[in-house]
Every structure is written in C-alpha cells, then in structure tokens.
Amino acid sequence: MKIFKDKHTLQKEILKTEGISFVPTMGGLHKGHISLIKQSKKTKLKTLVSIFVNPKQFNKKSDFKSYPRNTKKDIKLLKKLMVDYLYIPTFKDIYGFKPKSKVFLDKSSKKLCGKFRKGHFEGVLNVVNRFIEIIKPRYIFLGKKDYQQLYLIKKHIEKRKIRSKIVECKTIRENNGIACSSRNLNLSKSQMIIASNIFHYLRSLKKKIKKNYSLFNINKIKKELIKLGANKIDYLENYNTKNFKKVKKPYKEYNLFFAYYIKKVRLIDNI
C-alpha cells in the first residue's frame, strides 16, 4: 500500500492506472468501511481510501475535537485489506485551491440533519467535490447509513455532469443491530445497549406502521425513546428513498429516518 500526503504526488501515481475506485472516510475505521473497501476491490480497479476529518462539516468545535481518531490502527487495517493507495491530506492540500465545479446543494439538504446541523451538508459537498477533482474516480463507494448525504452527493454529481459513479452499499450493523459508526467508539457498554434497544424498538415499529400508519404518532414514539434512554431526539420521520419527500401513506417505498443523542453522542440511522 502506498501512502500519500499531498495531492500532486498522488495524481502522478494514479495517472498510470486504468481508473480508481474511491472510498472516502474520516478514519476510525470499522466493519462498515471494510465492507465498502471489499466492494471496491471487486471492480478490479485500484482502490484508494482517504482519511480526512473534515472540519467544515462539523457545526460544533467540540464534536470535531471528540471525533474518534486512530490513524496508526487504520493504516494497519488497510494494509491487511491490501488497499492500493491511502491518501491522508492536510487541510491546505484539500482547501488550498479553487475547484472547477461549483457545489450543487439540492433543496432536500434543508431537511433532517440539514435542519439540525447548519452548514453540515455544505461542508460535506465541498470536501467531496474537491476529492473528486483531485482523484477523478471512476467509482465512489458510499454507505446507506448516511442516506441523506448519499442522496445529496448523487444529486451534485448528476447536476454537474461529473463522470464518477456512486455505488450505494448496504448499511453494515453490529451484532446488536446498531449501524456501524466511528461515533460508536464514544459509547460505553451500557450506552451501546441503549442504542441497541432503540434500534430494535424502531425496527419493530416500522413493521407495525406498514400495516397501520396511524400508529406513527411522533410525540408518543419520542416519549418511548426517552424512556429507553435517549437524551434528546433531533428527528423521527418517514421519507421516500427515491425522491426524498416526506411519506404520509404506508404503501410508498420509504425508510424511517432518525437522529438522537445518548449523552453527547449523536447517532443517526434509517431502516
């Protein structure tokens, strides 16, 4: 595995390849990232993984500082997975140039996480746009856990007629049901149990509301989540996964999207 810390050296190297399969990460690698990398390797192109904790997508400095980081452990794992390239850029490397494509931010960016984390998706799209310009990947592998983010990146790529193709990958879960996330490293054992209980409760609820949508009483459900151990609920909504519009009838193709806090740790998921 070759490690690069500046874009110019990286670009010289990848020019020799037939194409790049790209897995963007902020480190704190887990089973979800491993699954994305394994999917990427199936393309038979060179796999490039990035590790960059992007400050522009954090709306709280404390959240940026507490984000789990363990680069040595991540490098060891990536070597084991036989990744071709690892890109660990500096802030200046990513933000020290003006990209050719302007970021397109779909109106759905104002919903769900966009409503509660001002500037978050602007930060995500900004950094993704820059990575695309530096790497020009043929494929970008993204997980469905961050579905709103995935949807917005796809919209940006479509609108700006970028050639990279997004490959949507299923959410990988821990044995207790909760979605794999770097933020899980900030949870204690007892808090992991709370998160697991919340996941199982909401998964069961979704099955019930498919048959009887009147059971979707947001206030009642939020009270139940507080009883289970959530400290704060940002949102709990049903959205059509094709057009990202709120669902009001049970027969449409939709997911239940939710974000909540256990103490200071914010968890998001969709089922």
Which active-site residues does the annotation give? Answer: 33
Taking alpha carbons only, the member of 270, 195, 210 closest to residue 237 is: 270
State the Cα–Cα distance between residues 85 and 47, nearest whole angstrom.
6
Burial (CB count <10 Å: 0-12, 13-18, 19+), residue 271: middle
List strand residue ranges (DSSP E) for 126-253, in order: 139-143, 165-169, 232-240
State the Cα–Cα distance between residues 237 and 29, nearest whole angstrom.
28
Taking alpha carbons only, the member of 216, 218, 180, 183 closest to residue 199 is: 180
